[in-house]
Amino acid sequence: MVTRVATVAFEGIEARSVDVQVQVTSGNVNFILVGLPDKAVAESRERVRAALIASGLALPAKRITVNLAPADLPKEGSHYDLPIALGVMAAIGAIPPDALAGYAVLGELALDGSLTAVAGVLPAAIAAYARGQGLICPAACGPEAAWAAADIDILAPRSLIQLANHFKGTQVLARPQPSVARQAGPLPDLGDIRGQESAKRVLEIAAAGGHNLLMNGPPGAGKSMLASRLPSILPPLSPRELLEVSMVHSVAGHLAEGALTDRRPFRAPHHSASMAALVGGGLQAKPGEVSLAHHGVLFLDELPEFQAQALDALRQPMETGDVLISRANHRAVYPARFQLVAAMNPCRCGKATEPGYACRRQPNERCMAQYQTRISGPMLDRIDIVIDVPAVTAADLLLPAAGEGSAEVAARVAVARQAQTARFEALNLPNVTTNAACPAPVLDQIARPDGAGLNLLRDAAEAMRLTARGYHRVLKVARTLADLDGEAKVGRIHLAEALSYRSRIDQVAQAA
């Protein structure tokens, strides 16, 4: 007889159904695992054997065959331990044969029979619920699974024995509750920054519309400091965004203790990051920084120091909001709708823009141009706002702390975001929540400037030789400026400001 246990295999954040089939027959004593398992799955045999023995169940002196079906879907990871062990237990009569019906199962076993947390429980639970199944997972992942639905049936035992007792009815497992991660203290506050009023204003605009931002300035001007204050003014994730973000983090194995958080992700990979680390991939086609930053911020400090190839790989996800990773045996799509915030020095020495500074190697302009060529034109074209962050003066540092902190700015950002969400919902585009993500064809409807604005835009587009993308990005920023002003229509003043943030791109691109 064949015992069947339902489990999943991950393709990106999709959990595909996998059937674990266990057959115990007479014949040579052996434990065979087939169905395209990778190394971690193949090792599962040893963990299952040890865990069963530790739980007081010796494997029968028979031939045990385990098949993971469908056989052509690659199986990766350690979460097959538990379905295999339960399949064997059902096959030898250690648990009732129908106990596992209606459950999807995943979990890793320790040698002592306890269960270890695994990645991907949230997407597995959501997929199981959609198929009308419950979920059996390790206790540590229970709170995560409980987010899938209010009425999903979850068994989250600590060990094999605890689960067997539950099925026998001697120890009933309680349903885990969804938990929210405890925040590690308050975020750094915008109020800490002295002076830099225009940079703070731009940070507010970028936050309000989800716009990509590049800050250019000498070392010590406070660029990194400004970027690290962005999370404190961004609105919290909506419930739907929270689930989307958490699915990616779950598959990546980043959800500590199964707790979710409504803080927007802020990812700041070092400039030595490889292409696979940034866009995803590697052996198991894991999500990269662009996907971990989904619905949040990807901060690239010292932008020109990143590998050119890695930076150019960001271009496609910046446009489409997702990333397709293809490997020999794998194909995974991960969401990657992130807001890019980047910082750079004007040149290698960092001081080219300082009055009176002369580069020892070559004229300042050449030094700057050489450094800026490291960022490609197409990359710059995807940035909505470029600003210069000048060095902060001693006079600024001596000023008393600013009256306005992150809370006040966040309130204005939240109002502007609400206006955007409502507008896109009315247009039947529920997936779009920010002006930055607005599809170009819709822009004509929502950001049509008034007469004076149109004239300005026409002249500027010609003078600045805006690309089509550049033109649309100017309109998006202008729309955000109007939203911050609470205006229904985009006016000339909004366009003028939006164009001023774009003009720096031309200068950088020309240098490049």
Ligand X SMILES: Nc1ncnc2c1ncn2[C@@H]1O[C@H](COP(=O)(O)OP(=O)(O)O)[C@@H](O)[C@H]1O
Binding residues vs Mg ion (CB under 5 A): 224
Nearer to ligand X, 84 or 202 (CB): 202
Is the peptide bond preceding residue 304 cis, with omega within 30 degrees of 0? Answer: no
User: 260, 211, 259, 262: which is closest to 236 by C-alpha?
Assistant: 262
- Contact with ligand X (CB under 6 A) among 62, 158, 194, 492: 194
Q: Which is nearer to ligand X, 220 or 236 (CB)?
A: 220
| 44 neighbors 84 (Cβ within 8 angstroms) | yes
Cβ atoms 68, 75 nearer than 8 A: yes
Those residues whose C-beta lies under 8 Å from the C-beta of residue 419, and which sit 6 or more positions away, are: 483, 486
Residue (of 297, 269, 292, 289) closest to 206 by Cα position: 297
Candidate ranges 60-68, 203-211, 217-225, 502-510; the one touching ligand X (CB under 6 A): 217-225
Q: Which of 117, 127, 145, 193 binds ligand X (CB under 6 A)?
A: 193
Q: From the list ligand X, Mg ion, none, which binds 196 (C-beta under 5 to 8 Å, kind-based)?
A: ligand X
Applying CB under 6 A, what is the total number of residues that bind ligand X? 14
Residue 225 binds: one of ligand X, Mg ion, none (C-beta under 5 to 8 A by kind): ligand X
In the complex, minimum distance from the CB of residue 502 to ligand X, in angstroms, rounded to a whole number: 22
225 is an interface residue for ligand X by CB under 6 A: yes
CB 219 to Mg ion: min, Å: 7
- Partner from ligand X, Mg ion, none contacting 193, C-beta within 5 to 8 A by type: ligand X
H-run or E-run covering 103? strand 103-105
Residue closer to ligand X, measured from CB, 388 or 487: 388
Give the separation between CA 383 and CA 326, rounded to whole angstroms: 27
- Per-residue binder mask for ligand X (CB under 6 A), 340-359, x = binder: ---x----------------
Tell me the window of 15-23, 142-150, 190-198, 235-243 that interacts with ligand X (CB under 6 A).
190-198
Range in contact with ligand X (rule: CB under 6 A) among 29-37, 43-51, 221-229, 404-412: 221-229
Alpha helices (H) in 338-467, listed in sequence order: 364-372, 377-381, 394-398, 406-426, 440-446, 451-463
Based on the shown chain and the rule CB under 6 A, indicate whether residue 195 belongs to the binding site for ligand X: yes
Q: Which is nearer to ligand X, 216 or 480 (CB)?
A: 216
Work out the burial of residue 23: count CB atoms within 10 Å of its CB; fewer than 13 is exposed, 13-18 middle, 19 or more buried.
middle
Among 86, 88, 221, 260, the residue binding ligand X under the rule CB under 6 A is 221
- Compare residues 397 and 426 and give the one whose CB is closer to Mg ion: 397
7, 67, 159, 196: which one contacts ligand X (CB under 6 A)? Answer: 196
Compose the 367-396 pattern: x for residues touching ligand X by CB under 6 A, - for all others: -------------------------x----
Question: Shortest gap between Cβ of 338 and ligand X (angstroms)?
Answer: 20
Helices (H) and strands (E) in the chain, counts: 21, 18
What are residue 286's phi and psi, to 5 degrees? -75, 155
Contacted by 377, from Mg ion, ligand X, none: CB < 5 to 8 Å by type = none
Instruction: State which amino acid sits at residue 404.
Output: E
> What residues have CB less than 8 Å from 335, skipping those under 6 apart?
13, 244, 248, 291, 294, 321, 322
Written as six digits, the tokens of 239 are: 């419930």
Q: Are 36 and 96 in contact (CB under 8 A)?
A: no
Helix 81-91 crosses helix 44-54 at what angle (to 10 degrees)?
50
Identified binder of ligand X from the candidate list 75, 211, 223, 295, rule CB under 6 A: 223
Nearer to ligand X, 78 or 345 (CB): 345
**In this complex, which beta carbon is closest to Mg ion, that of residue 43 or of residue 305?**
305
Residue 219 binding ligand X, by CB under 6 A:
yes
Q: Which of 509, 459, 484 is nearest to 209 (CA)?
A: 484
- Footprint of ligand X on 17-36 (CB under 6 A): none
- Number of residue whose CB is nearest ligand X: 222
What is the chain's Cα-based Rg? Answer: 27
Q: Return d(Cα 388, Cα 209) in angstroms, integer.
A: 20
Which residue stretches of 273-357 are H helix?
Answer: 275-279, 289-292, 308-312, 315-320
- The least distance separating ligand X from the CB of residue 196, rounded to whole angstroms, comes to 5
Q: Select 220 or 486, whichever has its Cβ closest to ligand X.
A: 220
Residue range at the interface with ligand X (CB under 6 A); choices 114-122, 187-195, 263-271, 361-369 = 187-195
Name residue, tokens 């990509």: 212
Looking at residues 156 to 175 of the shown chain, list those that interact with ligand X (rule: CB under 6 A): none
Q: Which residue is nearest to Mg ion (CB)?
A: 224
CB of 221 to Mg ion, least distance (A): 8
**Residue numbers of the site for ligand X (CB under 6 A)?**
193-196, 217, 219-225, 343, 392
